[in-house]
């Protein structure tokens, strides 16, 4: 069974349903070790001028972790649609050993798991988040519960600062 690990706006239940994924049985909130999530990606189709245009990216990091949503039982057609949507990214394999079920110590078993990481030519750590995209990501994270939302903010970075503490959000998320 093929699964996709999503970590930004694709965590939104409306986006997941639009892909044809069954929300009742094929979606699992998870936590992932060995990766860092940050706003460091030039957009491919969310066009915006100025410094506030970054979208999310994940990259391997020995000390990093983040939470996301695992979409299970992805068909070849869905995978093709996702590859097109995520055209500024490369699809990579994620080892099941680094993924745990959210708020549970059990690990995810038996899946071929992919996620998307930004193509190197699209990385730009000097950017700030695209505000509309940031809002979509925050709403998506909030839909999975308060603890999930807090973890999302604490494990998402803008430049070198966690979103939880980021000054541009009116004193950070922790207020």
pLDDT in tens, 53-109: 999 999 999 999 999 999 998 999 999 999 998 989 999 999 999 999 998 878 887
**Residue 31 and residue 76: Cα distance in Å, rounded?**
25
Q: Global pTM?
A: 0.90
- The pLDDT assigned to 171 comes to 46
DSSP secondary structure string for all residues of 115-153: EEEE-GGGB-TT-EE-HHHHHHHHHHHHTT-HHHHHHHH
Confidence band for 150, pLDDT divided at 50, 70 and 90: very high
Mean model confidence pLDDT for the chain? 89
Count CB neighbours of 11 within 10 A.
25
- The pLDDT assigned to 175 comes to 42
| Tokens 């009116």, located at residue | 170
What residue segments make up the domains of the chain, in order of their start? 2-169
CATH architecture of 2-169: Roll (3.10)
- The pLDDT assigned to 63 comes to 94
- The pLDDT assigned to 96 comes to 93
Is residue 161 predicted with pLDDT exceeding 50? yes
**Residue 39 and residue 113: Cα distance in Å, rounded?**
23
Q: What percent of the chain has pLDDT over 70?
A: 93
- The pLDDT assigned to 17 comes to 85
């Amino acid at each position: 069974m093929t699964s996709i690990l999503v970590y930004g706006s694709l965590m939104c239940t409306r986006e997941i349903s639009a892909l044809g994924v069954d929300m009742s049985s094929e979606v699992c909130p998870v936590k992932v070790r060995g990766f860092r999530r940050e706003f460091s990606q030039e957009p491919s189709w969310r066009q915006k001028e100025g410094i506030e245009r970054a979208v999310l990216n994940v990259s391997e990091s020995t000390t990093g972790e983040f939470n996301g949503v695992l979409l299970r039982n992805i068909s070849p057609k869905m995978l093709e649609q996702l590859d097109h949507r995520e055209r500024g990214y490369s699809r990579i394999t994620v080892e099941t050993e680094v993924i745990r079920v959210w708020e549970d110590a059990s690990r995810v078993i038996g899946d071929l798991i992919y996620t998307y990481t930004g193509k190197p030519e699209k990385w730009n750590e000097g950017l700030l988040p695209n505000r509309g995209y940031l809002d979509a990501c925050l709403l998506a994270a909030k839909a999975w519960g308060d603890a999930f939302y807090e973890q999302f903010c604490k494990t998402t970075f803008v430049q070198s600062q966690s979103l939880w503490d980021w000054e541009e959000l009116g004193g950070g998320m922790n207020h």
